[in-house]
Amino acid sequence: MKVIDLESVPMVERPHVREGVLRSRRLLTGEPGTPGNFSLQLSFTPTYYSPRHRHNFDQVRFQLEGVFDFALDGEMKPGWVAYFPEGTQYGPQSCQTGSTTLVLQFGGPSGSGYLSAEQYEQAAAELAKHGTFAKGVYTQAKPDGGKINKDAYEAVWEQVNGRPLKYPGERYLRPVFMDPESFDWIPIEDQPGASCKPLGEFSERRTRIALYKVEPGASLKLDEHSIYFVVAGGGTVDLRAFQRHATIHLGVGEQATAIANEPAELLQIGLPRFW
């Protein structure tokens, strides 16, 4: 089990292949080269733009501050959660007034995996020697004077893997946007003082998203193979303190119990199961 305090993670302005500025705290990473590899970041974007596109991995986003606009797919407002399935087109996405978003990107149900940050940055740097990135598109000149335009992430992935990217089929035709305020709290049996808002379970790999509320002095049993982001409040988990915006990660087979010392709220992302 890991407990990561937000302030212990430096904020870095990261290179990326979209348009705008991206500053982030990289909170957690998975195991590179595995189907379930992942990256969890708290991202700060003064301005941002990317064209309509899709990925061969899944994403979950939790909007903390500001509004992120995804055009016809809708807006992510503070407190909203969204699931972006692999293979599904979304956007264009833009932010003009500043945004703070928790972003989990992870290998989706097809088993295509997820690039590590090191792979991504190295491949993008190599591609930049032979072409240009602009507004989320990679452009490379052809010998005959023409141009090849490709989605920026797709170009990076192909540079890493040495083959064309084949997108998974669309399990969902659009991203799933969730407003937790419209859900009711459901008391958890045998855990007095704890309640849950189950927001959804997605794909055959059973990625799960839920919110939990824990009253002061009450306890919550945490699930294995899950990430918990502390939305509000604080307490202890197996005698280790946590506070607002901390991250708790339990691996496969791990167990833990969180005890609140003030009203606490936690967002759970149950990671996909590849076994």
The secondary structure of 65-109 as a DSSP string is EE-EE-GGG-EE-TT-EEEE-TT--B--EEESS-EEEEEEEE--T
Q: What is the mean pLDDT of residues 38-48?
A: 93
pLDDT of 16 > 90? The answer is no
Query: Which of 32, 39, 51 has its CA nearest to residue 14?
Result: 39
Q: Provide the pLDDT confidence category of residue 254 given band limits of 50, 70 and 90.
A: very high
Could you tell me if 117 and 37 are in contact, meaning their C-beta atoms sit under 8 angstroms apart?
no
Taking only the tens place, the pLDDT of each residue in 126-184 is: 999 999 998 889 999 988 888 999 999 899 999 999 999 999 999 999 999 999 999 99
What radius of gyration do the chain's Cα atoms show? Answer: 19
Q: What is the mean pLDDT of residues 2-18?
A: 88
**pLDDT at residue 136, rounded to an integer:** 83
**pLDDT at residue 183, rounded to an integer:** 98
Q: pTM, whole model, 2 decimals?
A: 0.93
Q: For the chain, which domains are there?
A: 182-270 (2.60.120.10)
What is the Cα–Cα distance from 128 to 107, expressed in whole angstroms? 26
What 3-state class would DSSP assign to 42?
strand
Query: Which of 19, 70, 79 has its CA nearest to residue 49?
Result: 19
What kind and span of H or E run contains 33?
none
What is the Cα–Cα distance from 269 to 260, expressed in whole angstroms? 19
| The length of the chain, given as a count of residues | 275
Tokens of 119: 């792979």
Could you tell me if 269 and 227 are in contact, meaning their C-beta atoms sit under 8 angstroms apart?
yes
What is the Cα–Cα distance from 275 to 204, expressed in whole angstroms? 11
What 3-state class would DSSP assign to 118?
helix
Please spell the DSSP secondary structure of 120-177, one letter per residue. Answer: HHHHHHHHHTTSEEETTEEEEE-TTS-EEEEEHHHHHHHHHHSS---PPP-SSSS-EE
What kind and span of H or E run contains 32?
none
